[in-house]
Structure 1
Amino acid sequence: MGLTIKPVTDPAFRKYGKVVTGYDAGELLEKMKETPLPDEVVYVASVKELEELAVSKKIEKKLYGQLPIQVGYCNGHNKNMNAVEYHRNSEINVAVTDLILILGRQQDIAPDYTYDSGNMEAFLVPAGTMIEVYATTLHYAPCHVSEKGFRCVVILPKDTNTDLEPAGEAVNKEDRLLFAKNKWLIGHKEGGLPEHAYIGISGENLSV
């Protein structure tokens, strides 16, 4: 099913996040041109060269309130939702190319931790735009607008999306969703996810 794609400036985006202004991301955009752009999707959580940039240090001091952060990227080619994830903190994205985000709300996850993909909306984020994606916003890898693919800066609290340490028995149902550090994930059966991923999305594997 094709999704209606709204601009990120549409009022409908306000429940998912906001456009961040006042930061000059020029050096980040320039440095990102050196990152790979594969046929699939690649995510790298932390890149030293990106983290050392002055704008990244300013984002850590101001946007993240002096919490330690990591600056990485998600690049590639993608047209499908495949899964949704959320964190306990906001995520900052900088669109290096035009890209589309398919978004939903954590509040719409059912008590049994299933989720209906029909609740999701799609938004176009133009190249050069910085956005905050709220902690309660369900998201996953961006989708490309052009066949040339997409590049996106991903900024999160340090160690997010890295490998889990042994945590013992699950305390409640949500614990089954914990996929990586500070990353809770619900997959779609057609999403091509690893065997241990929690599959709980009903409805179509949305595409743009």
Structure 2
Amino acid sequence: MELINVCSPEFRPYGRVITGYDVDGLMKAMESTPLPEDVVYVASVPELEALPIGAELSDGIYGQMEIQLGYCNGHNKKLNALEYHRDSEVNLAVTDLVLLLGRQQDIEEDFTYDTSKVKAFLVPAGTLVEVYATTLHYAPCQTEDSGFRCVVVLPRGTNTDLDHKPHVKCGEEKLITARNKWLIGHEEGGLDGGAWIGLKGENISL
């Protein structure tokens, strides 16, 4: 699968590279975060949120909304699922990593999605990117056997437990698996029984 650098114009429909922010402190703090053999996601890490960049991102990127800084680390080479939020997600690549991305506009009326439409974008270490709200994404993929580390910034409460399962009215509600999280899984993705399985085609592996 072709790897496209996020600095390429091809990334523009999916997100943008953010410049002007000093990410050195965040990069350093991430060195001590776990790097398991599978994938771990932690939505909110107070030690990361207390760094100066936490307030800076809240102010300048999220328009003074309350945000959370967490991470997604580990070892992964597969697509497995795609998700989206009602807000942009900001990622800092602590290591080189690959984001497998799609577009919400390409979800079919029956809430299935053809994985042949997914593109792979290389995010070099130290690069800060905004992934737009309409961009389908999931856990990053590694570029080396040593795995990946990625900072994940989202509005406060995103990806936390639901108070209750929403009633299905327009159909999209059945994709909701957490707060501000709509997910479409692949049958080979190893997801729990409550996930909507709607990815059609190959479970992409890098």
TM-score (norm 2): 0.99
Indicate which of 45, 49, 54 corresponds to 2:43. Answer: 45
Q: Deviations over 1:82-105 (max 9, x none)?
A: 000000000000000000000000
Q: Deviations over 1:139-158 (max 9, x none)?
A: 00000001000000000000
Please state if 1:11 is matched with 2:9: yes
Please state if 1:204 is matched with 2:202: yes
Letter in 2 for 1:60: S
CA distance in 2, matches of 1:166, 1:139: 24
Letter in 2 for 1:39: E
**2:84 corresponding residue in structure 1:** 86
Which runs of structure 2 are paired with 1:21-32 in the superposition (5 Å)? 21-32=19-30
TM-score (norm 1): 0.98
Q: Deviations over 1:58-89 (max 9, x none)?
A: 00011000000000000000000000000000
Letter in 1 for 2:120: A
CA contact (8 A) 2:166 2:173 kept: no
Q: Deviations over 1:97-151 (max 9, x none)?
A: 0000000000000001000000010010000000000000000000000100000
Indicate which of 119, 123, 133 corresponds to 2:131. Answer: 133
Q: Post-superposition shift, 1:193?
A: 0.3
SS at 2:164's partner residue?
coil
The structure-2 alpha-carbon separation of the partners of 1:170 and 1:38, relative to structure 1 and needing over 3 Å to count, comes to same
User: What residue ranges of structure 2 are gaps of 5+ in the alignment?
Assistant: none
Sequence identity (%): 59
The structure-2 alpha-carbon separation of the partners of 1:48 and 1:196, relative to structure 1 and needing over 3 Å to count, comes to same
CA distance in 2, matches of 1:156, 1:169: 25
CA distance in 2, matches of 1:169, 1:39: 36
Which runs of structure 2 are paired with 1:25-174 in the superposition (5 Å)? 25-174=23-172
Q: Post-superposition shift, 1:9?
A: 1.0
Runs of 4+ in structure 1 over 4 Å off: none
Q: Post-superposition shift, 1:170?
A: 1.4
CA distance in 1, matches of 2:147, 2:189: 19
RMSD of aligned Cα (Å): 0.7
CA distance in 2, matches of 1:172, 1:166: 17
User: What residue ranges of structure 1 are gaps of 5+ in the alignment?
Assistant: none
CA contact (8 A) 2:26 2:51 kept: yes
Letter in 2 for 1:63: I
Q: Deviations over 1:20-56 (max 9, x none)?
A: 0000000000000010000000000000000000011
Please state if 1:189 is matched with 2:161: no
